[in-house]
Amino acid sequence: MAALPLFVQLPAYYANHVGVALAPLGWILFSARLFDMMQDPLLGYWLDRRRTAQKKWMIVAGIILACTFAGLWKPPSPSQEGAGQVLVLCWLALMLIMAYGAHSLISIAYLSWGARLPGGGLRAVGWREGAGLAGVLLASVIPPYLMANGVSALTQGLSAYCLSFAALLIVCLAMLIRQPQPISLQAPAQPWYAILRQLYSNAHLRRLVWPYALNALSMAIPATLALFFIEDQLQASSMAGVFLASYFLAAAGGLPFWILLARKTSLVQSWRYAMALSILGFLGAFFLNADSAPLYFVICIITGVALGADLALPPVLVGRMPGQEEVIGITYGLFTMLGKLAMSLASLILPVLSACGYESGRGSSSALLVTYAVVPCFLKGIALFMLSRRHWQEN
């Protein structure tokens, strides 16, 4: 419920409703995400050294996340020029850094908890990602609905939305920490840089880095541009919430299928099939315009079903790679870092599009179309090729 605004909705919200220029917005997002990316392995190492206190730190991070989530949606009012714009950009950077850090700490602790479950947590991961998609569905519908109902309704609605998010987050975390954690291995004694060298020497993990990173970038680019594509290419901004909801509903529906397929074949084979399906869907988006907006539902369903595999299978695959059982926290920190590097690089698409003449709210653009629909397919195709040319060992 926090990730969708952090990575998808805020760029369009700050550009269209707060009034921040596209180029500086892209650089702020890039810088904050780059800072966030660099801290993830350190957070993973820090959690590995404090396994008995992880629950307490998850609660602390939850409180910080609830506060910064509200701060992101409720920035200070900018003036059109000068100091007001700088204040908003500084506020955005600060809130993003704090929200990303809190979100990362909770996510890494939660992923490593699941990896220590019997069998690597493949059964549990379906429930985990399904619950996550339920939160994403709420986040995909509520903010677009509020943004379509005028400034006054938006201000009041966002206040209620942020309070509801905070209450739900704290209640769910309180329910979680009452559960017993699986027995952990002894905390690592080596310094973090020695563990990173150890992970780099693990050939199984090293081979997974590039396809994982390229696939993450292939998802990050359309995630960053989705609302711009819906508004300018499809001219259907009023349908944005419905499009996003159909996308994530399809992902939730596809989760059981991909998990079943992974049990019948393997995690990697199931993931490869999902990548091929995603490429098919995104290529179709290249042919859409304002007259064919209803067909975008088909694209959302196809790529949404494939998203179910992208959410569920890679974390389990990382947890099952041999040779990293004692340092699972820093391992997940490394791979979440790769995902955030992808989001950082995707942020640079905004200044690139601005340099190519694209302006948000001004209608269709060939640069936007190619970047949204073609570039992700190229990147995912490379990741698929790299996964297909190697034999993968899974515990």
More confident residue, 80 or 166: 166
User: For residue range 214-233, what is the model confidence (pLDDT) as tens digits?
Assistant: 999 999 999 888 888 898 88
71 Cβ neighbours under 8 A, 6+ residues apart:
91, 95, 99
More confident residue, 242 or 80: 242
User: For residue range 102-111, what is the model confidence (pLDDT) as tens digits?
Assistant: 988 888 888 7
205 Cβ neighbours under 8 A, 6+ residues apart:
199, 318, 321, 323, 324, 331
CATH 3.40.50.300 fits 3-181+192-388, yes or no: no
Closest to 54 measured CA to CA, from 128, 113, 3, 124: 113
Q: How confident is the model at residue 187 (pLDDT cuts 50, 70, 90)?
A: low
- Angle at the Cα of 318 from the Cα atoms of 373 and 305, rounded to 5 degrees: 35
pLDDT of 186 above 60: no
pTM over 0.75: no
Length in residues, the chain: 395
Q: What is the average pLDDT score of the chain?
A: 82
Domain segments of the chain: what residues? 3-181+192-388
8 A C-beta contact, residue 331 and residue 274: no
Rounded mean pLDDT, 260-277: 91
Please state, in angstroms and rounded to a whole number, the distance separating the CA atoms of residues 49 and 195: 12
Tokens 């397919």 locate to: 377
User: For residue range 7-34, what is the model confidence (pLDDT) as tens digits?
Assistant: 777 877 887 778 777 778 888 888 887 7
User: For residue range 247-266, what is the model confidence (pLDDT) as tens digits?
Assistant: 988 988 898 899 899 888 88
Q: How confident is the model at residue 305 (pLDDT cuts 50, 70, 90)?
A: very high
The whole-number pLDDT of residue 82 equals 52
Tokens 């499009």 locate to: 243
Percent above pLDDT 70 for the chain: 84
Q: How confident is the model at residue 328 (pLDDT cuts 50, 70, 90)?
A: low
Please state, in angstroms and rounded to a whole number, the distance separating the CA atoms of residues 60 and 47: 13
What is the three-state SS of the chain? CCHHHHHHHHHHHHHHHHCCCHHHHHHHHHHHHHHHHHHHHHHHHHHHCCHHHHHHHHHHHHHHHHHHHHHHHCCCCCCCCCHHHHHHHHHHHHHHHHHHHHHHHHHHHHHHHHHCCHHHHHHHHHHHHHHHHHHHHHHHHHHHHHHCCHHHHHHHHHHHHHHHHHHHHHHHHHHHHCCCCCCCCCCCCCCHHHHHHHHHCCHHHHHHHHHHHHHHHHHHHHHHHHHHHHHHHCCCHHHHHHHHHHHHHHHHHHHHHHHHHHHHCCHHHHHHHHHHHHHHHHHHHCCCCHHHHHHHHHHHHHHHHHHHHHHHHHHHHHHHCCCCHHHHHHHHHHHHHHHHHHHHHHHCHHHHHHHCCCCCCCCCCHHHHHHHHCHHHHHHHHHHHHHHCCCCCCC
